[in-house]
């Protein structure tokens, strides 16, 4: 079972990084965190993958006052998404024709949804940005959705000011990714080991609810 979880996690993170590269090559706008990553990359001269990795570890520092604990999946997420984003950018050409851009955007959203369901379903720890959102919600009493919205509005605004790409793709991602991950998550969630029904009924349901809420809120951000 653990072999499946680790394999699914690594495949999911690789696909997530490739989907980020596809969003960039589509040239129609990025999700809020990647608008920020792109803005910082343009300002610093670093590759976007390097920026994704650096920001991930900086965000993990914010977990300390929130009393969040990273898992193996958290650390793998912090490194591998950025690595595969740079690999994808090296392999995927940019599109100048609108039809190609729209096709690339649609493929990026679908791949991102599958990737998110894979790594969340592996149950090996949230991504750095996901944990920041859920940790903030737990410590403040805010809803996950409100915490996500506040965080992403801030990073989107800063990223836009730094020159990150905001466009139709930003809106499409915001509207599509939650429902898509919620639809796919049951297919990829690795079941827990069988336990007595009476002992597991309430906790198991609570865990699935938390994962689904996070996914529906777009907690799929690396």
Residue 221's pLDDT is what? 53
Residue 152's pLDDT is what? 93
102: in domain: yes
172: in domain: yes
Which pair of structure tokens corresponds to residue 184?
A: 């796919």
Rounded to 5 degrees, φ, ψ at 13 are -70, -35
221: in domain: no
What is the total count of domains within the chain?
1
Residue 193's pLDDT is what? 72
Residue 119's pLDDT is what? 95
Q: Of how many residues is the chain composed?
A: 222
150: in domain: yes
208: in domain: yes
Determine whether 88 is exposed, middle or buried from the number of CB atoms within 10 Å of its CB (0-12, 13-18, 19+).
Answer: buried
| Cβ–Cβ under 8 Å, residues 66 and 135 | yes
Residue 1's pLDDT is what? 81
- pTM, to two decimals: 0.85
The secondary structure of residue 162, as a DSSP letter, is: T
145: in domain: yes
Which regions in the chain score pLDDT beneath 70? 194-222
Residue 222's pLDDT is what? 55
For residue 194, the enclosing domain spans 2-216
CA 73 to chain CA centroid, Å, is 12
222: in domain: no
Cβ neighbours of 214 (radius 10 Å): 26
Residue 212's pLDDT is what? 38
């Amino acid at each position: 079972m653990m072999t499946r979880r680790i394999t699914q996690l690594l495949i999911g993170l690789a696909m997530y990084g490739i989907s980020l590269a596809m969003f960039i090559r589509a040239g129609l706008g990025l999700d809020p965190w990647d608008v920020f990553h792109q803005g910082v990359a343009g300002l610093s001269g670093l590759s976007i993958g390097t920026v994704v990795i650096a920001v991930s570890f900086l965000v993990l520092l914010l977990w300390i006052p929130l009393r969040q604990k990273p898992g193996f999946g958290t650390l793998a997420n912090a490194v591998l998404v950025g690595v595969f984003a740079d690999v994808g950018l090296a392999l995927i050409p940019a599109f100048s024709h609108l039809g190609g851009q729209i096709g690339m955007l649609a493929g990026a959203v679908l791949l991102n949804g599958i990737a998110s369901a894979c790594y969340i379903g592996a149950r090996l720890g949230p991504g750095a940005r996901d944990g920041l959102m859920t940790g903030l919600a737990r410590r403040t009493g805010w809803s996950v959705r409100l915490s996500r919205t506040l965080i992403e509005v801030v990073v989107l605004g800063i990223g836009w000011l730094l020159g990150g790409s905001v466009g139709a793709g930003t809106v499409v991602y915001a509207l599509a990714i939650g429902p898509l991950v919620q639809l796919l998550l049951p297919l990829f969630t690795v079941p827990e080991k069988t336990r007595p029904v009476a002992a597991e009924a309430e906790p198991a349901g609570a865990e699935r609810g938390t994962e689904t809420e996070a996914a529906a809120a777009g907690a799929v951000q690396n």
